Amino acid sequence: MVPSQVNGLRILAPAPDTRPSRVTDVAVRPAKRKSNACDACKKRKTRCHGDHPCDKCTQAGTKCLFAGDVDKRKKLALHNTEQELNAIRSLLDQLVAAFDSGNDADIQRLIDIAKSKVNTKIPSCISGAASRTCNHSLASTNS
């Protein structure tokens, strides 16, 4: 019996893979759609890429309008971020004033406040405040 045969049947090699590799598939994919679709695409229930005007509205010849106040989650997140930014600015202004006045007690109090707002997973970047710079962000807290 020939080694290329088993039980009278010929052994076949696997078919060559003619599918393109997945690496090229990723590079060809279009950008993901935006989380906010225009009003016309929402009404038509079609994919909207978020451009202004979007392709679907251009093709249909309709006005491409985005309702800004509809998404309450984004509005709330923006409001919280603005509050946090204002609190950080206020703390920074107070810290600069304390450094200018040379009041060590105020400086230490403000550094302690800033430390309490730093995310606990991030190493403290407030210690030695004037001698180093720190690129870590402050944690999201309500002030």
* CATH number for position 60: 4.10.240.10
Compute mean pLDDT per 10 residues along the chain, 143 residues long, and list them.
66 77 57 69 84 86 78 79 90 90 88 74 41 41 41
Q: What per-residue confidence (pLDDT) applies to 71? A: 65
Residues 78 and 107 occupy one common structural domain? yes
Per the structure, the complete domain to which residue 82 belongs is given by 72-117
Average pLDDT, the chain: 72
Strand pairing report for 9-10 and 5-6: antiparallel
Q: What is the pLDDT of residues 27-48, one digit of tens each?
A: 556 555 456 788 888 888 888 8
Half-sphere exposure for 22 (CA within 13 Å, toward CB): 0
Q: Using the 8-state DSSP alphabet, how is residue 9 labeled? A: E
**Could you identify the residue written with the tokens 């006005």?**
63
Number of structural domains in the chain:
2
**In percent, how much of the chain has pLDDT > 70?**
64
Q: pTM of the predicted model, to two decimals? A: 0.38
Distance CA 55, CA 32 (A): 14
Residues 78 and 45 occupy one common structural domain? no
Residues 60 and 97 occupy one common structural domain? no
Residues 78 and 88 occupy one common structural domain? yes
Residue 103 forms part of a structural domain? yes
